[in-house]
Amino acid sequence: MTRDQFVYFPALSCSRIKKHYTGDISYAKVALELGVSLHHQLLDLKPEQMNLEAYNVHKAIGSHPVASRIMNGAINEHPMIKEVQVGRHTIEGKAMFDIYNSQLNVIADIKTTSARTLDVFASDMVKHYNHIQAVWYSLIAGIDPKNFFYIGVTSRSKRLGSNSDTILVYRHSDQEILEARKLITGYLDQNIDQLKSHFNSSYKS
């Protein structure tokens, strides 16, 4: 499945749910485009093809015990479409995993971040409703959301000689996962009919 095919595939994505709560985030366009560029470098290219910044990040991730093990043998940019059940709703969902390690049953998502510390990074993930993404992706992959990890790329990790300290790896707490489930359910409670007509897909309520 190509990226375009994935984008236009009629199924519910986490970005649609997140947008319901975040509203318009066009102010973050520049930051998001920079993130897309780094994603492309890190996930689509071989190390020798990467630009210097991406290569430094690649090396830093490689020196992080958790991040490197997750990336080792994983599939990058892996699309998945699956019927998921959330509360009393069943709907076809889609997700594009940055990093999917089927052996470890782990998903990881690369996030560029301005945070310098893990607590700020963790709080940013919730503030930007990324815990919805963690739970949604986990539902589609059929894994425990505790097996969804963020790999936070800081500005320091782009520098020459950056080490594992510059990579922030985080997974959500039980409380954050519970909160995300409520947000997803709340969204579906309000929008399931609209989604039904939009996707014209099979669902059960």
Partner 1 sequence: MKAELTLKIDSLYQVINDPNNLKAQQLINDAPSKVEDKLSYDITEHTIKLANEVLKSIETSRKAITSPLDAYKKQIMDVEKEAVEPLKKYIESAKSKMLDYNNELERVQREANEKLRIESEKALEDAPFDVFNTLAGYFVDQAVSINTEQPKNIRVTKKARINGEVNWSMVLNVLFAAECIDYQDLLTPLAKAMEKCGVVKIDGIEIYEHKTQVIR
- Footprint of partner 1 (CB under 8 A): 64-66, 69-70, 103-106, 116-120, 122, 144, 146-147, 149, 164-165, 169-171
Write out the two tokens for 144.
Answer: 């425990």
In the complex, minimum distance from the CB of residue 107 to partner 1, in angstroms, rounded to a whole number: 11
Quote the least distance from Cβ 121 to partner 1, whole Å.
9
For residues 40 and 69, which CB has a smaller minimum distance to partner 1 in the complex? Answer: 69
Residues 125 and 33: their CA atoms lie apart, in Å, by 18
Question: Minimum Å distance from CB 76 to partner 1?
Answer: 18
3-state secondary structure 25-67: CHHHHHHHHHHHHHHHHHHHCCHHHCCHHHHHHHHHHHCCHHH
We find the least distance from the C-beta atom of residue 117 to partner 1, in angstroms, to be 5
Compare residues 123 and 202 and give the one whose CB is closer to partner 1.
123
Q: Which three-class secondary structure state does DSSP give residue 195?
A: helix
